[in-house]
Structure 1
Amino acid sequence: MGKARKIKPSKKGSNLPLDEQIANDSYAKKKNRVKIRLRQDDDEKFVDSKLSEKILHQARKQQVELEDEIGSSSGIKEILTNQLIDKDDNSDDDALPEATAGDVYEAIEVNEEDEKALELFMNKNPTPRLTLADIIREKITEKHTELQSQFSDNGSVQLSDIDPRVKAMYEGVRQVLSKYRSGKIPKAFKIIPKLKNWEQILYITEPSTWSAATMYMATRIFASNLKDKMAQRFFNLVLLPRVQDDIAEYKRLNFHLFQALKKALFKPGAFMKGILLPLCESGRCTLREAIIIGSVISQNSIPMLHSAAAILKLAEMDYTGANSIFLRILFDKKYALPYRVIDAVVFHFLRFEKDKRELPVLWHQSLLTFVQRYKSDISSEQKESLLKLIRSQSHSKITPEIRRELQNAKCRDLECEQPAVDMDE
């Protein structure tokens, strides 16, 4: 048990009687320190009520004047021209510095030998690439043909054209979109996805003249407001041609266009059907395009069903070097794929057993990634077939790794087998 604490006698007033000293030590005394509190009211200045009323009055007055301006057609055109058009017409399309694009995907160095090897597997007669303008022309031609077949008198029926006032307004919007860098987008453009003839209205704005920042904002708007089928058409007819043209011209992709591809993945089904699969089906996807678009897929999460459907389609279509890049990227996501997709991928590789062409390194890399990720999902027969395949299609550095993975694989049919039960016991 600890010692009792001694009470020290107070030095102050030690000459006092004992009873007064005890009384003084029992109660706390008030110190002579003076606390100084600084008032902050003097430093802070507030707007008085009279000045507030003047500010609100001027704000209401400006709002009324602005509404009067917007009420007239000339006011709309003036506002679109003065407030939303960037004053620096000669500025570059990139609102962000070029170094920003390097933070998104790695610098691409394409080897000429690799490009020549991929050209052997490209389609010599690719399907022509359709744009929004081509689709609109086809629709107008079909409409004319339909009306002419229904009525004998061609002059009695005319196509319902767009209201001239609407057309003039969207022509003004077109000028804004061609020079847009940042800030608010015209409200007339935001309502396009809600229109029935949105393709015709979009055609008036000439998407080929849009700035890169406009394409990013448009992808955000259309991806969030259109259904999957309509968003797929926008991605395929507007976004994909712009991405391909930008890569072909500058050997890299504008940062805003890269961000637009990422926004397009918010509708993964439309992205796969509108960008990835048409790009590979065209047979003219370059190595640079595959790497850049593949980096978008690798950096973002995609639902398994959409990825599985894309893998199935890529495995069944005619082979190009780009197929191997996209397959390898999707394999690296380590999905739990259905056996139907696994079987389609195995047959995809087995098709090249008797191919006399020298397969590119990308093909061997995709096969290695597949056996690393899904060696336990293949059957024993497929395992033997793949081992036979790599005897005819081999690579000095990659094939030994593929063989080692296959030899150590526990196939799906062997894992499902139950040990035999001895009935004599």
Structure 2
Amino acid sequence: MVKSKRPSSTKSSHALPLDEEMKQARLAKQKKSSEDSAIVSMDQDGESHATVDERTSKKILSLAKKQQAEVGKELGYADVAKMKQYSLSAGDESSEVRSENVPSEEPEEQTEEESDLKDELILESERKLWDNNDVHADDVTEEEEKVMREFMKMKPQTEDIPKAAFSNQITIYDKYMEALAAKRAEVDDAVSQSQVSESSKPQVDQRVIDVYKGVGEVMSKYRSGRIPKAFKVLPVLLDWEPLLFLTKPHKWSAAAMYQATRRFSASANEKIAQRFYNLVLLPRIRDDIAEYKRLNFYLYMALKKALFKIGAFFKGFLLPLCEESDCTLREAVIISSILAKCSIPVLHSSAAMLKIAEMPWSGANSIFLKTFFNKKYALPFRVIDASVHHFLSFMEEKRNFPVLWHQCFLTFIQRYKNSFSNEQKEQLMRLAQKQYHPHITPAVQRELQVSINKFPENYTQKNDEEMSESASTIN
């Protein structure tokens, strides 16, 4: 009789104690996937605890933002994107209106946290690339500054020249000075009208004054992190300017100035941003460069943030700086390095070039014009013609101009040599013979000789109308 074989077990029952056999009989074994084993191995190593790669985390964040936007639409937060201006004057009921219209601050705080995180990441990446030598501020020596100051003190020896030779340039300059005088007269009238008795002015609540004085103390010691909420609402207030000066901007830290510029460039309208750039940012930048001979990293980033409101930057920062006769070469080199790195619309740049070309000459203006020429814009004919007249105005000058002027002249010829008419080429060739530099002028003459006239004599650019519209925005 054949004996029946017992089923062979993979594991003998005698290999384990009785209590463990009972546990295995009651509980099923859990299989570990390859991903779980990888995660466990990473945790056991102790070197890296990252379990989600960068691509997956970006997808998760994008999905979370979409869900948050959908929830905001359902709850009615989508219509509160446009912020109104409010006043903090005593006895004003606008604060009550704001509290009724604006919902709870939790969604706004979440978006602010996201923007703050993005801003910190940008600052970290910029700091890694930051190098003071990249600005070339050390290339400008004290001797060069002294020579430029002495040159600007020299009067042009043009007494024997007939006035007809300068009729075009004098007309442009007179128009510019008349417009500037009219603008200053308007400002003086507005200031005189605003100087009314203190009793007729709306008085600001004393509690508000105490709050913004405390904000000024925080901003003077600020290094990183969140800024006070009272400062965040400044750009949308009607009486923002007196409250801003209660915080004493001249005592702010560099990091606080960056955060303030970031707020005004994002939340304020163009007129308020222009006013902030002119009254607060411009003096602080000039003082920092004059004291330390270079620009702080946070102030450098503040200038880059200010370019988000490009029209306000030109009208409130760059053009007033060019109008000042005491703008140093070091300031021009540092600021032009930021303009060279950032993308600027062609119409705004064209209007700025037109204004700078009509201003009295200075070394800083040549640096800014050279920076704009190197961007290789397709300029309107009006701007090219104004630049040609800018250089032709030095035809009868007997002074020997510095290398800055010759470098700017060479850059202009190299970039736009094919956009000149035959008459302009002849005039520029005569200018090169009169204002001669042994190393630069031969290159200018060679560029003019090999240039090709692409346009007929009666050619006019179609975008001159767009150029006039953009120029009116700069006025």
Q: TM-score, normalised by structure 2?
A: 0.61
Q: Distance in 2 between matches of 1:216 and 1:249?
A: 19
What stretches of structure 1 of length at least 5 have no aligned partner?
1-31, 45-93, 125-136, 148-153, 418-425
Displacement, 1:229? 1.7
The answer as to 2:326 corresponding to 1:269 is no
2:224 pairs with 1:194: no
* TM superposition shift of 1:238: 0.3
Give 2:140's match in structure 1, choosing from 89, 101, 110: 110
Residue 119 of structure 1 is matched in structure 2 by 149
Q: Which residue of 1 aligns with 2:211?
A: 169
Q: Deviations over 1:160-194 (max 9, x none)?
A: 32110000011111110000000011111000001
Higher helix share: 2
Q: Does 1:382 align with 2:412?
A: no
Report the alpha carbon displacement of residue 114 of structure 1 after superposing the two structures with TM.
Answer: 2.6
**Larger CA Rg, structure 1 vs 2:** 1
Q: SS where residue 139 of structure 2 aligns?
A: coil
Letter in 1 for 2:364: A
**1:255 has 2:285 as partner:** no
CA distance, structure 2, for counterparts of residue 324 and residue 198 of structure 1: 36
Q: Is the 8 A contact 1:101 1:254 kept in 2?
A: no
Match of 2:81 in 1: none
Who is 2:185 aligned against? none
Q: Distance in 1 between matches of 2:450 and 2:190?
A: 58
Q: Distance in 2 between matches of 1:354 and 1:182?
A: 56
The letter for the 1-side match of 2:194 is K
The aligned amino acid for 1:242 is R
Contact 1:105-1:295 at 8 Å conserved across structures: yes
Residue 260 (structure 2) aligned to one of 183, 198, 218 = 218
Q: What residue in structure 2 maps to residue 333 of structure 1?
A: 375
CA–CA distance in 1 between the matches of 2:127 and 2:307?
24
Which residue does the alignment assign to 1:182?
A: 224
Deviations 1:35-79 (A, max 9, x none): 9955979x89xxxxxxxxxxxxxxxxxxxxxxxxxxxxxxxxxxx
Aligned to 2:194: 143
1:193 alignment partner AA: P
Report percent identity of matched pairs. Answer: 53
CA drift of 1:123 comes to 7.4
SS of aligned partner of 2:335: helix
Contact 1:376 1:412 in 2 (8 A): yes
1:92-103 map, 5 Å: 100-102=130-132
SS across alignment from 2:413: helix
CA RMSD of aligned residues (A): 3.3
2:413 pairs with 1:371: yes
3-state SS of paired residue (1:397): coil
Which TM-score applies when normalising by structure 1?
Answer: 0.68
Q: Deviations over 1:15-47 (max 9, x none)?
A: xxxxxxxxxxxxxxxxx89x9955979x89xxx
Q: What code does the residue aligned with 1:350 have?
A: L
- Partner letter of residue 337 of structure 1? L
Say whether the 8 Å CA contact 1:121–1:320 is kept in structure 2. no
Q: How many residues align?
A: 317
Q: What is residue 395 of structure 2 aligned with on the other side?
A: 353
**Preserved contact between residue 290 and residue 325 of structure 1 (Cα < 8 Å):** yes
1:359-388 deviations in Å (ceiling 9; x for gaps): 010110011110110001111100000000
Indicate conservation of the 8 Å contact 1:262/1:296, yes or no: yes
Partner residue, 1:229? 271
2:392/2:428 contact within 8 Å kept: yes
**Deviation at 1:103?**
6.7
Distance 1:206 1:388 in 2: 54
Taking the aligned partners of 1:343 and 1:371, their CA distance within structure 2 comes to 13
- One-letter code aligned to 1:143: S
2:209 counterpart of 1:209: no
Where does 1:273-422 land on structure 2 (aligned, <5 Å)?
273-414=315-456
Query: What SS class does the counterpart of residue 108 from structure 1 fall into?
Result: helix
Q: Does the C-alpha gap of structure 1 residues 350 and 141 become closer, same or farther in structure 2, counting only changes over 3 Å?
A: closer
Letter of the 2:147 partner, please give it.
A
1:388/1:288 Cα in 2 relative to 1: closer, same or farther (>3 Å)? same
C-alpha distance in 1, partners of 2:131/2:316?
A: 24
Amino acid in structure 2 at the alignment position of 1:260: A
